[in-house]
Amino acid sequence: MTYDLVITNGTCVTASDIAALDIAIQNGKIALLAPSGSLAGASAVQVIDAEGGYITPGGIDCHVHLQEPAMFGGKGRSADNYESGTRSAIAGGNTTIIAFAPLQKDEISPLAAVHATHALARGNCYCDYSFHLLMGNASATALQELPRLKHEEGISSVKIYMTYKALQLRDNEILSILLTARAHEILTMIHAENGDVLDWLTDQLELAQKISPKYHSNSRPPILEAEATNRAIALSSLVANTPILLVHVSDPQAALRIREAQTQGQPVFAETCPQYLFLTRDDLDRPGFEGAKYICSPPPRRKEDQGAIWRGLQNGTFSVLSSDHCPFSFDDEEKGKKSCITREHPEGHFRHVPNGLPGVETRLPLVVSASKLRLTEFVAVASTNPAKLYGLYPRKGALLPGVSDADLTIWYPEGKFGGDLTLKNDMLHHDADYTPYEGRKLGNWPRYTVLRGKVVWDRDNGGVVGEKGYGKFVKRGSAVDVWDKVDEAGFDLEEL
Ligand code: URP
Ligand code: ZN
Ligand code: ZN
């Protein structure tokens, strides 16, 4: 037997176990896990000596924005397309991303939205990919098409917004979406910030001429996130405990409310992101317009809030850690952060700064380097739980012989960099002109990324060695271990 690829001398880490194992790969799948050293002499087309480094299931970044129209404040356009975004993803140890197929307020067909997004991604991706439907309206046609989206297109999640003028849904619209999603085992992701209040606060700040980047944070204080999180949880409980996933949670009070709902047995899941672990509201107050580099929503909070967010990752309040990669270049007056600079506002205006940060490539190295999660916890939130919640498991997010795709991240042996690895934007493979993490010291970086048995990232020998177009669309099913606990009786007006 000649294997396609054998990896020796590594320590495999899954969401539950750590063991020194050799890995044999055949036809894009994990073929065999064997005691360390036992595959040293095996016949193989290619052999990688992991030199004692950790081997984890490939990263799954389940929250990535690419090539979407301007919807997140201002008129910016994404710095990355599917080509550069997925190139950046593999260089940061990811093998799958889930991006968004946007259905805008005035559009009626989710199927058309998905087909249009396929046309942008097809043939352009370096890693495997799927889409969430970004649902900007709850029209009858949009709701009617959701079953086909799930059963024909393999799209088992939608994201809805409680803020942004272009996307905000009213509570009745949210309820209609939840009810339809429940009937077809579609997971509803919710961006929870109170849009009406933050619009009012933005007007107040504008009247007081407080418009520099730092006031983005004042326009979206934590109470707006906690209130909307509580409301989202209440709405999901009203429609017979429909499963929801609160995205990019930044506020400890919101996390506490989520924890409470989970303790009560409600199917409430949550995500956080590196910006809430490593950045603070003080970053928005950097000199001049520099603070705009850190404008995202919700905004980074106070330094003292970060501990609670790390704890939420450790104790399972947050099932997933994703990047919310939403890149806008800084020094770009047409489509970047500086597109808000006008004759009227020569210093810019936070209201018009496109919201979002680049981060698909830095998510895994930043969190591994911080050493605050057990390695098994890290694998759970960065790969296995996203695969389970978004219906990719066990094909993705696991190392199960004969079952899982051979999607791997191979890390450098510990101590390799001795504190000398400094993050700089010119190391990265996105098309944004900055990283919000410039100058951070890192302890590790993915050395190899393997996608379906093929090395696509080899940091020391060529960098990105995968090919554009090798990444394929992956159809997804229902979330694992979620729907079986949902009461079959469903929503009953008599029970209210
Ligand atoms: O500021 C952010 N988070 N931009 C991306 C859009 C979103 O709401 O995820
Ligand atoms: Zn969002
Ligand atoms: Zn997002």
Per-residue HEC secondary structure of 282-327 comes to HHHHCCCCHHHHHCCCCCCCCHHHHHHHHHHHHHCCCCEECCCECC
The answer to whether 218 and 205 are in contact (CB under 8 A) is yes
Please give the pLDDT value at position 85.
Answer: 98
Looking at the domain assignment, is residue 182 inside a domain? yes
Give the residue whose CA is nearest to atom 9 of ligand 1. Answer: 324
CA of 326 to the centre of ligand 3 (A): 7
Q: CA–CA separation, 448 vs 408, rounded Å?
A: 8
Looking at the domain assignment, is residue 147 inside a domain? yes
Ligand 1 pocket residue status of 65, Cβ below 6 Å: yes
Query: Which CATH number goes with the domain that contains 244?
Result: 3.20.20.140
Looking at the domain assignment, is residue 424 inside a domain? no
Ligand 1 pocket residue status of 301, Cβ below 6 Å: no
The answer to whether 127 and 451 are in contact (CB under 8 A) is yes
Ligand 1 pocket residue status of 227, Cβ below 6 Å: no
Ligand 1 pocket residue status of 103, Cβ below 6 Å: no
Ligand 1 pocket residue status of 191, Cβ below 6 Å: yes
Q: Which domain holds residue 126?
A: 59-375
Query: Residue 139 has which token pair?
Result: 């029209």
Ligand 1 pocket residue status of 176, Cβ below 6 Å: no
CA of 132 to the centre of ligand 3 (A): 11
Looking at the domain assignment, is residue 464 inside a domain? no
Looking at the domain assignment, is residue 145 inside a domain? yes
Q: Within 13 Å of residue 418, how many CA atoms lie on the same side as its CB?
A: 0
Looking at the domain assignment, is residue 19 inside a domain? no
Nearest to 414 by CA among 447, 456, 378, 455: 447
Please give the pLDDT value at position 75.
Answer: 82
Task: List, for residues 149-166, the tens digit of each pLDDT value.
Answer: 999 999 999 999 999 999
Crossing angle between the packed helical segments 140-151 and 171-183, to the nearest 10 degrees: 30
Q: Which atom of ligand 1 is nearest to the CA of 161?
A: 8
CA of 62 to the centre of ligand 3 (A): 10
Q: CA–CA separation, 116 vs 112, rounded Å?
A: 6
DSSP state of 26: E
The residue whose CB lies within 8 Å of the most ligand 1 atoms, and thus the one to mutate among 296, 320, 323, 360, is: 296
Ligand 1 pocket residue status of 450, Cβ below 6 Å: no
Looking at the structure of the chain, the number of domains it has is 1
Task: List, for residues 300-315, the tens digit of each pLDDT value.
Answer: 999 999 999 999 999 9
Ligand 1 pocket residue status of 322, Cβ below 6 Å: no
Tell me how far the alpha carbon of residue 52 is from its chain's centroid. Answer: 29
Looking at the domain assignment, is residue 408 inside a domain? no
Ligand 1 pocket residue status of 248, Cβ below 6 Å: yes
Looking at the domain assignment, is residue 173 inside a domain? yes
Ligand 1 pocket residue status of 326, Cβ below 6 Å: yes
Query: Residue 64 has which token pair?
Result: 């990535």
The answer to whether 456 and 439 are in contact (CB under 8 A) is no
CA of 79 to the centre of ligand 3 (A): 14
Minimum-distance ligand to the CA of 62?
3
The residue whose CB lies within 8 Å of the most ligand 1 atoms, and thus the one to mutate among 164, 219, 322, 355, is: 355
Ligand 1 pocket residue status of 175, Cβ below 6 Å: no
CA of 191 to the centre of ligand 3 (A): 8
Per-residue pLDDT tens, the chain, 496 aa: give them: 999 999 999 999 999 999 999 999 999 999 999 999 999 999 999 999 999 999 999 999 999 999 999 988 878 899 999 999 999 999 999 999 999 999 999 999 999 999 999 999 999 999 999 999 999 999 999 999 999 999 999 999 999 999 999 999 999 999 999 999 999 999 999 999 999 999 999 999 999 999 999 999 999 999 999 999 999 999 999 999 999 999 999 999 999 999 999 999 999 999 999 999 999 999 999 999 999 999 999 999 999 999 999 999 999 999 999 999 999 999 999 999 999 998 888 888 999 999 999 999 999 999 999 999 999 999 999 999 999 999 999 999 999 999 999 999 999 999 999 889 999 999 999 999 999 999 999 999 999 999 999 999 999 999 999 999 999 999 999 999 999 989 888 899 999 9
- Size of the chain in residues: 496
Is the bond leading into 358 cis (omega within 30 degrees of zero)?
Answer: no
